[in-house]
Amino acid sequence: MKAIYDTPLPDGWVEEPLASVVVNRRGYTWEKGDEVGRAESDTIPVIRIPNVQDTLDLADLLHLRNVAPEAIEKAAVTKGWLLFVGSNGTQDRIGDSVLIEEDCPMVFASFLVGIQPKDQQKLESDFFASWMRLHMVHEIFSKTSQQTTGLANFSWSAVKRLAVRFPACVDEQRRIAASLKLTDDVVKKARKELTATREVKRSLMQSLFRTGMPDQIRGAEDSKIGPIPIGWRVRAIRSVLSEKPDSGTSPLSRPDPPGTPILNVTCVKEGVCNPADVTYVDVPDEDVERYRARMGDFFVLRGNGNRDYVGTGGLLREAPPHDTIYSDKLIRLRFNSEEVADRFVPYLWQSRVFLDRLQSKAESGSGLWMMSKRDIGRELFACPSLDEQREIVALLDSTEAQLIAQSTKVEALLEVKRSLLRSLLTGVIRIPVGAIHA
């Protein structure tokens, strides 16, 4: 049995090898020709890797024809079972799991694995589902996976001897699971609030960059990019830059110091360039001088395998680490404050009306969608007066402040959840009888 805990076994708890307390089963494999985009009378839905999130996400289901009854029985999505990611191109996804809370008339795909405690009177599924989410457990599932033909595949031989620690008393297991569920509910509520605010921001941007401030009543006039508010004018991105667009450098990077910090594609997300996600490179001093990033720079992804990401941008809202540079996969833009208000163009860049038009210029080649500095510089946008720009920015800033506060709240709750998960699942914290309804 492989020990994974750094605390003593609590009184009344036991440890047993994973293989001795669970059963597992593989999912269903199908032919491409059996796939259907929507439900039909002779199809059955299939749970795939994208459906495995914090809970079972059924927003995007694929449907299959010609699924035999015996296949449905073997790969059924059944209450009390967990589905975890067994094969994926991203190693960190291996071991991600979700508990099935009710029987579903579906099958699960072969890249997933079903797992369940053998005896619910000994080890309950709710408790075991939490154990599977322990960081130390997930890390072993992912880090011991084996790479084959570009895929990471979980290794049963590497995990079957893991010590599963649990209370011998099933009632204590239930109290722990109930406590963690309360924490999950708080996290879900906070995430819903965050999602709602994001939707408000999206709706605002769709309106503001089409019709302007809501308190200003005016008509529209035709332009090269379609109807725009009367009094606005069409401008090219290059006309509001303080210097020419520039792409970065491309030395081999590594995740940890020493070296020069470098901003990369993973730093750019949801309109922000996050310097916390830098990697490190070795470059000469002249490259540091040429490609040095500074607060207020705006970075655009010039290439990506997914067209939905190429052309997206992120504003460097905070000062990066000293002498931080940027990757050649990014194009740096610096705006002229006499032409456009601070943050106006970065907000514009997040609006669908602008981004859809820009992404239509992307070209595909060698598996990548690419965009040039020229494409970006020539892109047109509807530009209001500086005063109205500042009003638009102020309104979006207030929404952005709410988003930042709510994101911080979600992260803090997730940290509490991780700490509580570890403490409760290892017996460091015990929940007395009657302290919680299980």
Residue extents of the structural domains in the chain: 13-168, 170-215+385-438, 233-383
Name the β-bridge partners of 368: 365
Contact status, residue 164 vs residue 21, Cβ threshold 8 Å: yes
H-type alpha helices, 144-218: 156-159, 170-211
Mean pLDDT for 91-105 is 94
**pLDDT over 80 at 147, yes or no:** no
208 touches 396 (CB < 8 A): yes
Does the domain formed by 170-215+385-438 have CATH 1.10.287.1120? Answer: yes
Q: What's the pLDDT score for residue 37? A: 85
- 3-class SS at 52? strand
Q: Which of 199, 204, 202 is nearest to 391 (CA)?
A: 204
Reported as a single tens digit per residue, the pLDDT across 4-23 is 999 999 999 999 999 999 99
pLDDT category at 438 given cuts 50, 70, 90 is: low
User: pLDDT tens digits for 38-92?
Assistant: 899 899 999 999 999 988 999 889 999 999 999 899 999 999 999 999 999 889 9
13-168: which CATH number, 3.90.220.20, 3.40.640.10, 3.20.20.70, 3.40.50.2300? 3.90.220.20
Residue 435 pLDDT greater than 80, yes or no = no
Residue-level pLDDT at 436: 77
pLDDT at 194 over 80: yes
Residue 150, pLDDT > 80, answer no
Three-state SS at 79: coil
Architecture per CATH, domain 233-383, reads as Alpha-Beta Complex (3.90)
The percent of residues above 90 in pLDDT, for the chain, comes to 86
Using CA atoms of 142, 148, 150, 151 in order, give the dihedral in degrees to the nearest 10. Answer: -40
The answer on pLDDT for 366 being more than 80 is no
pLDDT of residue 183: 94
Task: Specify whether the CB–CB gap between 215 and 229 falls below 8 A.
Answer: no
pLDDT, tens digit, 9 for 90 and up, residues 392-421? 999 999 999 999 999 999 999 999 999 999
Dump pLDDT digits (tens) for 251-282: 899 989 999 999 999 999 999 999 999 999 99
| Residues 20-28, mean pLDDT to the nearest whole number | 96
Task: Give me the chain's average pLDDT, please.
Answer: 93
Question: Do the domains spanning 170-215+385-438 and 233-383 agree at the CATH topology level?
Answer: no
Distance CA 117, CA 126 (A): 10
- Which pLDDT tens digit goes with each residue over 277-334? 999 999 999 999 999 999 999 999 998 888 899 999 999 999 999 999 999 999 999 9
